[in-house]
Amino acid sequence: MDGLPNLDFRSLRIFLTLMTERSVTKTAMLLGVSQPAVTQCLNKLRQAFRDPLLVRGPQHMVPTARAMRLEGEVRRFLQLIDDTHVSEAFDLASEERNIIVTAPEYLELLLLPKIASALRREAPRITLSIRAPDARKATDLLATGEVDFRMGWVRDPPLATRAMPLFQDEIVVIAGVNNSMVGDSLTLEQYVSLAHIRLFGTGLTTSGRVIDDYMKQHGRTLPVCIFAQGLLALLESLHQTDVVATIPKRMAEEISKTFAIKIVPFPGVLPTVRNALYWHEKNHRSPLHHWFRTLVVDVAAELRTPRKESGR
């Protein structure tokens, strides 16, 4: 097909998803990437094929005649590539390997216990190493193989990276139960008048950047007075001082099972937290990688199940 030499497999897979979903937003949600990344890819495809491919319609995007013809060719091409890379058989129980994953403490807290349980049961010789994320080096670490997987909320992953969505979340504010300055809700003025503590490992998290962007849009600056290295220090600070923290809701709910905290909604509308699992294209057909990806997605699926709230 003309145009293919200048395109990578990920762009072609995005094209097929766009043809199925007929929506940039739905495609981004399904693949766990940002809408600008999907739009950029679509523009790249349009230039390569010299055709609009998908245009705006009254309810959804409408494919051109050229796009309809290309869809079948692209599907056959990608299937041919997949068929020529048949994964070798391997014995999971005897596999000896160190799987290295970068993940924020939030996802480690929610997912690691059940992942560890499956590892001990199915792959007892596998060693799992969780490292703090470093957004500045993430792409290189995956490309070189120093890291196998990246878990987190990545708003614009590189094109050489594959992704599977895990679960969505929202941002909330937490405080110690004795913090008299925090009630059942907060206004933006009240929120910025409070002293804040923030987790800060190897750099600012995606949620931290999103919150700072929101503050900037509203002409405010978040008064962060403490940067904590770990969750336990953050929680003890909540109990012993008047500081508050802004974290994902599921993390707050998990914390509340052990520590007494107040959980209140964030005083504004923030983007949905879209957690995903990322890996480099070169490892896509590794049988061990495939097994681990399936394991993580299955564990995360339990977090996508609607939760029953007692007393309601």
Q: What is the pLDDT of residue 6?
A: 59
- As a CATH number, domain 92-168+273-304 is 3.40.190.10
Q: Rounded mean pLDDT of the chain? A: 86
Q: How many CB atoms lie within 10 A of CB 72?
A: 9
Q: For 17-37, write each residue's pLDDT tens digit.
A: 898 888 898 888 767 678 898
- As a CATH number, domain 171-265 is 3.40.190.10
Domains 4-83 and 171-265 share a fold: no
Say yes or no to pLDDT of 188 above 60: yes
- As a CATH number, domain 4-83 is 1.10.10.10
Q: Indicate the domain borders of the chain.
A: 4-83, 92-168+273-304, 171-265
Q: For 161-182, write each residue's pLDDT tens digit.
A: 888 889 999 999 999 999 999 9
Q: What is the pLDDT of residue 304?
A: 67
Q: For 71-93, write each residue's pLDDT tens digit.
A: 888 877 876 665 555 445 567 88
